[in-house]
Structure 1
Amino acid sequence: MQMGSFVYHTLFIDGITYLCATDNALDTITPSAFLKNMKYNKNQDDTPISTLRSQVTDVKNIMSQNIDEILESENRLSIFTDRTNDLQTTAKESQNTRKALRRMWRKHFRKIIIITAVILLSIIIILLSTNVIPT
């Protein structure tokens, strides 16, 4: 097949189409030999393509491991964030409880002081009125 100034040669084997483009329409032997040679080399392990495939597979495995580690880190960070929020809530509740206890203590302390003052004043008035304490 010819398009423009290039001639395209194809070889279809096992569902894979091999394509070669040449600029010489008269030479049909060299591209065919090149395509057959490519088919022959596809099963060898020392080809640049197999090396590249191996490297891509290695990179893919490393990336999968990194993604798994990121997901685990995100999960741990989420747990840590939840615990921090729980601690903050507990601290605020504790602070509010302390404030409420102080207010209650102050109210009771005032009542005790007022009752004590009233009792002492009553005792002094009774003692003065009975002449136990001379006026």
Structure 2
Amino acid sequence: MATPSSPSRGSILYALVARGAVILTEHSGVSGNSSVVAVGLLQKVPQDDSFRASWVAGQHIFHILSGGGLTYLCMADESLGKRLPFTFLADIQQHFEGRYAAVAGGAVAYEMNTEFAPTLRDRMHFFNTDPRADTLSRVRGEVVELKNVMVDNIEKVLGRGERLELLVEKTDTMGSQAFAFKRQARALRQQMWWQSARMSVIIAALVLLGAYAIVCAVCNWRFQC
């Protein structure tokens, strides 16, 4: 594999960006057969828009992140763990797509190497040496962890098909009941309004009849008082 001399916490030693098995750019900080192993791993990466994986090779781990038809791979010391390497890959993805998203789909092997390999080198140096990289990794890791938890919860819910169907059925039933209740309430209000109107008419008629009777009692029916 490789024979690096790295800090005790471990380092990112090799990185590349590829489309399928076609390497568009790469940079290695060590000597060895990292590129050969990487090409073999690229052939195992499924061509979908969301894939994360890690493969152990001796004392090193190859980490892979894919998205948008491109694959971002790095090799790091096993002691470095996974959080920092995947943060590095996400950082490289952001830099690369910002510059080559429109042309990467038709690029030939190593077409971006002259321009982008220095970026790989500089970002590897940053993540290997700058303390701010660990802070960035921790913050991004918390966001990714939250996203994974949310996706996991959704998948668990989606796995309960019967309960979801029952929930939808209950929701539809509740919706129908709510509509029926509104219709009944509207009809009841109209009925009460008509009853109130009829009662008002009856009361008014009684008042008029009472007034007429009083007038007739005081004056004769010919209104000759």
| TM-score interval, smaller chain | 0.3 to 0.5
Q: What TM-score do the two structures reach when normalised by structure 1?
A: 0.45
Higher relative CO (Cα under 8 Å, sequence separation at least 6) belongs to 2
Larger gyration radius, structure 1 or structure 2: 1
Greater helix proportion: 1
Greater strand proportion: 2
